[in-house]
Structure 1
Amino acid sequence: MTRYVAAPGVAWTQDTDEWDLPRVFVAPLPHGPISVLPVESALIWLAAVEGAADVVAEVARLAGEPDEAVRSDVEALLDALVSRGLLRRT
């Protein structure tokens, strides 16, 4: 399984919105830009950087969905975050 970490020089913090749903703010330092990852995107980021052995399976578990129902969206976001230099595969 592929593991992920925040890329070097990237800072992030977790917060909740007005409905107490998760969101993550992530930015390359020192100049940004800051990206806001709401709810589902935040769950994907958190599963990735917190070391889930299988990010798809962890997000599916949290969402109460089968792996195949979330796989394409999770993999697409992970690929986008890597491409933008915010995540790094290890």
Structure 2
Amino acid sequence: MGTYVMSVTQSIEVAGPCRLVLNEAHARRLLREYQRYYNASRTHLSPGKDTPERREVQGPERGARVIELREVFGLHRRYERRAA
């Protein structure tokens, strides 16, 4: 089984019985959202430990406040710095 499929499967398992797939359109929407998260937010085991779509490093000069961004319908979270 491919790494991507295993990652999607594990995310669905974490959701447990609270996440039901209602129909094919709903399943496609869930998979599109996960694909966006996988490519833009989730760090990969590459030498640079970055995402396929590069992100800028967010140092303390970016802002003192850290906010939580929920992704994949609340299954995953990402944190960013914002100006106060």
- With normalisation by structure 1, the TM-score equals 0.30
More strand as a share of residues: 1
Larger radius of gyration: 2
- With normalisation by structure 2, the TM-score equals 0.31
